[in-house]
A and B are shown apart, each in its own frame.
Chain A
């Protein structure tokens, strides 16, 4: 009997769990990420593997321990390492003695049959109607999760009582997790938004705006990024995350399968600085920084895992973007050894600098 599991990627995990259950499959969700997860991943993964590989390896080990035997994982066609994660993880898990199967969702390269075979393996004991409705709910849920998240970032920067937003947001996530149909998703999203709306605000706060760019996994998984959004929000910073899965899916799955162009404007914004795709999200990080600059943001924070090739390309070019677009940035590589204390200090220093810069430019305007 197959028991399915998958890696954690921020709130996407909630939606995946719902989808698999909706398809009538037996699911063993990976236990929440803890220090132990990271330790396991670090222990068994190659030293210079990128951080997301280590965390998801930890997820797989803990899920297999909890009784899962079938891992669902995404693939890729390069040139960044993500498409090779599963190969390495499979070999490591095999050497550790686990008995399991891996179902890899590679981006289709024209082999319709392979896609159907895989879909067959994932297709539980449910009718076609049920499957379609599960997919529909999944898509709605991702959109709702993204919307709620973006709202929470706006509210947190203005909360009167520290922590109130995070509490409301987490309660809201649980509502969304429980939703089983598209209608329920809509209703529960409204309930969650009401909770957020009730968070008391402090209108006197001088709110800064910071754009968050970088490697996708690191942006989406709060455990990996040391809760950067929460820390900044509680310093009175309205964060805007450049990447949302719903946008990504729209662009890469729907638009590209219909051969519609997507992501043009980010590409175009990056073009004066980097003319070619460099794998992963590297070029986008630059394009998004340009866009944040033009939208009048106070600064940009770039988050990357150590040794991440596409983002190191971006990091090498960011100083140029920052200079020419006139936007300050802070680039922070993270991995299992990154301590929270040092991280918070760097964020504080950056935010202080931005505040001074802002009051400086206000003074200049007054003098004019």
Chain B
């Protein structure tokens, strides 16, 4: 039996010891002596969150198919264990072998949201790897980042040796082969990094020089050497039907956030909402074949024993073979007594019919994401969801027995007026009215509408990357307007309103569009005790405030000012396919309230067609 890295005494002291013991069904065990590369794959948040993330399962499966690689998992120890590990000097370990991470060849860290950045530092520190890449030596693992936040890697560039930009399935093999070759030949870390920088999609921050203008904006971003490319190409998989997908994902013992089989049906989104980063960086939209999805669904259920299956995509209703796949799943799941959950479905006749078959109407709720309260505002953000469509969908659902509705909105969108803000309350009211149009005897009690607002954070590689972001005070003022307006509605008793924290959103704004200089703010905040910033129970604004002050970080510069159209952005060296010209055009369209067709209606020439496939070539 494996020896655990933590003693019984420690495991019995901490909350949920199952987070740290590994040994799960489908976890991959190998002989450490028999592999060339040991890879620690880390999600810098607590186990239950990290285990729910599909991307890691895909790479874990793919890496472990190689006989010469053993990929293991690492998560952030929760604050209780964090404290013990520091007190007792216990190095961070990987779950499978329970061996110390610092003895691995690679530490891969997936970057899913900005508010995990202090956890990266925790993982490095507990692993006893120097926080700054420049202080690492031949003895330390190569620290590689990937995932959506690596599309602006600059605020955390100092902490990483390299980044992988794009979908993981394409060049990892090349990277591993190169590493093996260099390791065998006894070449240095610096030599390896220099050579790796020319693999497409690989970004090695230390190979680039950055200079700034007097006003603080970026002046130039240039490779230090001739053989290092000036731009890094995003990696995309054009043939999704022939890449590996985990048929036997690891099944945690404790309940994870995603406690189900997750079937990825599509990458990318045809819609082009202007606030949405995923909608741009994952272009072009590529669908997977329903036939192979059916096979995967069956195999994954049989290999995991999960009692639920869910489809994953940015907008499942746009998956063309959805009816065929869903009908198959309904049969399969009734045979296997498995539940189906179908998030991100547009509410229409088809989805209501499906939902009434797979869930208890009385208990479930409808979800709409209008994102903005007024039609004007929805045109600005290019959200093609109209009031009629929402009311029609809600009406049909109410007739079908539903009475709970969840609505998601954003506050602080560019050009927003008080009328737009109040529109959130008005739309909620109209939905309530639609419910009470149903004759009393056919209603199932009161309707319950929950309107939630988050605060808009401008993201790189979106048409809103130039936009100014509101201050905390402005956000809270706007939330207050919504609250009051909801109270002023006739059916206010049927409407519940809640909003996301404003202070954390502003920080997210800093980290999303920051440059290399923001690294010292993150480091300082971490030194001040910031950790698990994505958790309201552990988030410490004071630690961040102090860091922002002591490092002289200019929040207006990074967050609140509107950027100039000619400004060079820290992330401009990454080529995502979608061009800056297209984004500029969309920013202009937004300001004029002009909507842009989705990719299936009409191509807008965003640039992603250069990848030679997907929705750009469907017609």
A binds B: no
B residues near A (Cβ < 8 Å) are: none
